[in-house]
Amino acid sequence: MILVTGGCGFIGSNFILDWLATRAEPVVNVDVLTYAANPATLASVNDDSRYAFERADICDRDAMDVVIAKHKPRAIVHFAAESHVDRSIHGPMDFVRTNVMGTATLLEASRAYWKALPEAQATAFRFVHVSTDEVFGTLGANDPKFNELSQYQPNSPYSASKAGSDHVARAYFHTYGMPVMVTNCSNNYGPRQFPEKLIPLMIVNALAGKSLPIYGDGQQIRDWLYVGDHCSAIARVLEAGRPGELYLIGGDAEKANLDVVHTLCALLAKHAPGKDYTKQITYVTDRPGHDRRYAIDFSKLQSELGWRPTESFATGLEKTVRWYLDNSAWVADVQSGEYKTWVEKNYGARA
């Protein structure tokens, strides 16, 4: 089986659902269940004999040793992370703990397990560390896209903590020979994303008649990657990637935040004729250190492993909007008191 960390989060849950839908191999999900984790997302596979869940913290070495020894995975896919830039500005140490110390703890537990495997199993073992393009900093309007040789220049506590985790993961390959691979993706969107990120926040707020807060001038550019495409890329890296390598995963869809919001408003209006959601757009003070542009050159992944995204931004966004419209109960469930407090804390003071 494979072991997935953070499988109750956005990308992790989509990965598990896609994996079980297309493969016979079992998967164990290790998640500590923080605010952004939602076990109900995986309710459809709870009774599947190929799925197992372990509630455990990647920062707890004893717990990681127990889980790994119990399930004996042939590979580990590491999604678990604190991932929201705004939250990292308010509480950076949580990000250092989970993203740096948690990754190091998981790697060390995995190394102990890997070293004790018979030679053939040790050779076949893989550890995929899932990271972000934000570790490379920001691009100018005419700069070439990020690639595997781009310099690390993180600008937020979140991206700095992910950069640290990338370096630790790389070191475990170069120092110990452990078969680790690192992936860096662009901005994900799609079903089951916690509504603190741009696209689900705009959808949820628009439907609720609330303001659609845009940072600064809204011209920050992101390369948007549909989560299903990201999951297929990670599966491909796990299948055929070379240990010690870095692979960048992008959606080939650079869009300014304001353009994304206008597109969302137009899509939502199709389901509410006569409704002009753009009237709900408001501009708020930009966040500190806000990167201006991200873009991914995924040519290495395409040439070496034959992967490229299958969803355009238009088709992916249409699927995303449709999912949120059809799953209002899921949205209501994740919008806890803590979530409401957070939204007010982050956006209320910026209005």
CB 317 within 8 A of CB 263: yes
Task: Choose, from 57, 82, 113, 158, the residue flagged as catalytic.
Answer: 158
Active site residue 277: no
Active site residue 134: yes
| Tokens standing for residue 81 | 């992370």
Active site residue 82: no
Task: Choose, from 31, 54, 82, 133, the residue flagged as catalytic.
Answer: 133
**Strand ordering across the sheet containing 254-256:** 187-189, 221-226, 254-256
- Which uninterrupted H or E stretch holds 341? helix 337-347
CB 58 within 8 A of CB 9: no
CA distance linking residue 201 with residue 11, whole number of Å: 17
CB 303 within 8 A of CB 247: no
Residue with tokens 């993203």: 99
Percent helix, strand, coil in the chain, to 5, is 50, 15, 35
Q: Are strands 27-31 and 51-55 parallel, antiparallel or unpaired?
A: parallel
Task: Choose, from 82, 134, 166, 252, the residue flagged as catalytic.
Answer: 134
According to DSSP, residue 292 is labeled -
Q: Catalytic amino acids?
A: 133-134, 158
